[in-house]
Amino acid sequence: MRIVVVDDEQPIMQFCVNVLERGGHSVEGFTRPEDALTKLAAQPADLLLVDYKMPGLTGFEVIRRARQLQPALAAMMITGHGTRDVLEEATRTPVNGLLLKPFTVDELSRAVATVLQGRPLSPPRV
């Protein structure tokens, strides 16, 4: 599976890329949402894993723009801001999953596997 990871924090983006590559996925990581959208316009992906809060665009804006390019794209939000507002926006956008930071290797791997199998993640408790 081809996965695009977007997180403005380089260490978190690289952590996700490393974990998912070890899981056998083809993964590209970006710290700038605009760069990820340019890549998605040129090459389709199976999953977009995107941080909620970034300079310029929110993760939800990135997902909406990415789905204009690829309407069937699965999208999963990662965030350290697990508030009711984020959960409500996740249902409006919608996303296939929401994973709260900090997360472990196993939590990330399980969440991505669940979403790629076409099953939604249970919403986190806030």
CATH, range 2-116: 3.40.50.2300
Over residues 54-82, the mean pLDDT reads 91
Where is mean pLDDT largest: 3-12, 50-59, 114-123? 3-12
pLDDT tens digits, residue range 87-100? 676 667 778 888 88
Q: Render pLDDT for 10-59 as a digit per residue (tens, 0 to 9).
A: 999 999 999 999 999 999 999 999 999 999 999 999 999 999 999 989 99
pLDDT higher than 60, residue 120 = no
* Short-list 74, 19, 26, 69, CA closest to 49: 74
What pLDDT is recorded for position 126? 44
Whole-angstrom distance, CA of residue 2 vs CA of residue 91 = 24
